[in-house]
Amino acid sequence: MTNKTLKAFEKRHSIYNINNELNLTDLEIEGLINKALDIYPSAFNSQDARLILLMGEHHKYFWELVKKELFRVSKDNKKTKIEEKIAKFEAGYGTILFFIAPEIASTLEKSYPEYAPQFPIWAREGNAMLQFLIWSIFAENGIGASLQHFNPLIDEIIKQQFKINPKWEFVAQMPFGGIVDMPHNHTIKYTDERLTVRP
């Protein structure tokens, strides 16, 4: 049995070796992301994800700021590896910053107090599904990407420098670009506990 959706998802990998050459226009990239925002699932249809799309000099400036913050808290003998890692992301075409608008969850908590503890959790789950959706859409369109988490180290400086709502929760970063080379397939760990079926 074949399934086109699963085949599309199989193309998604963490691709670190990227460049700034894409066959899509900036407008087409924006269109793909907007479509993902239209269709991703969120609890109570809260639609609380907020994205910042950085391209060109904004993309490069973002990774320079990340590198600066990493240097600030790292030992000197780690800085060469940091430089090499950040250079790979900076070599890409752009970066998506993923945020959550917590005021939406706060409003829902008042309307549905019985579920109040769950709304922040559901917000992160929804954001994760959006990340996976965009990542998969990129893969289907020949765009390489990876998901990075330099939070909370970079949160304050990034919000200040890019004038982002200070109340937003910074969740993840997705550098993307042309694919320089594909990684090896990851190892799948088969265990009897992965799936339990009770017919």
Average pLDDT, the chain: 95
The pLDDT value recorded for residue 7 is 86
Q: Which residues on adjacent β-strands are paired with residue 94? A: 55, 176
15-179 adopts what CATH topology? NADH Oxidase (3.40.109)
Residue 1 clears pLDDT 60, i.e. is over it: no
- Residue 3 pLDDT grade (very low, low, confident, very high; cuts 50, 70, 90): confident
Taken in order 87, 57, 168, 73, the sign of the CA dihedral is positive
* Residue 30 tokens, joined: 């924006």
So where are the chain's domains? 15-179
Residue 185 clears pLDDT 80, i.e. is over it: no
Predicted TM-score (pTM) of the model is 0.94
- Residue 191 pLDDT grade (very low, low, confident, very high; cuts 50, 70, 90): confident
- Residue 47 pLDDT grade (very low, low, confident, very high; cuts 50, 70, 90): very high
Taken in order 173, 59, 104, 157, the sign of the CA dihedral is positive
Residue 186 clears pLDDT 90, i.e. is over it: no
Mean pLDDT of 34-43: 97
The pLDDT value recorded for residue 193 is 87
The pLDDT value recorded for residue 184 is 77
Q: What are phi and psi of 145, to 5 degrees?
A: -155, 165
State how far the Cα of 149 lies from the Cα of 194, in Å rounded to an integer: 26
Residue 154 clears pLDDT 80, i.e. is over it: yes
- Neighbour-count burial of 159, counting CB atoms closer than 10 A to its CB (0-12 exposed, 13-18 middle, 19+ buried): middle
With CA atoms as reference, report the closest residue to 178 among 25, 17, 69: 17
The pLDDT value recorded for residue 92 is 98
Mean pLDDT of 103-127: 95
Q: How large a percentage of the chain has pLDDT more than 90?
A: 85
The pLDDT value recorded for residue 172 is 98
- Residue 57 pLDDT grade (very low, low, confident, very high; cuts 50, 70, 90): very high
Helices (H), 21-93: 26-39, 56-73, 79-90
Tens digit of each residue's pLDDT (9 = 90 or more) over 6-28:
888 998 999 999 999 999 999 99
Tens digit of each residue's pLDDT (9 = 90 or more) over 80-99:
999 999 999 999 999 999 99
- Read off the amino acid at residue 105: A
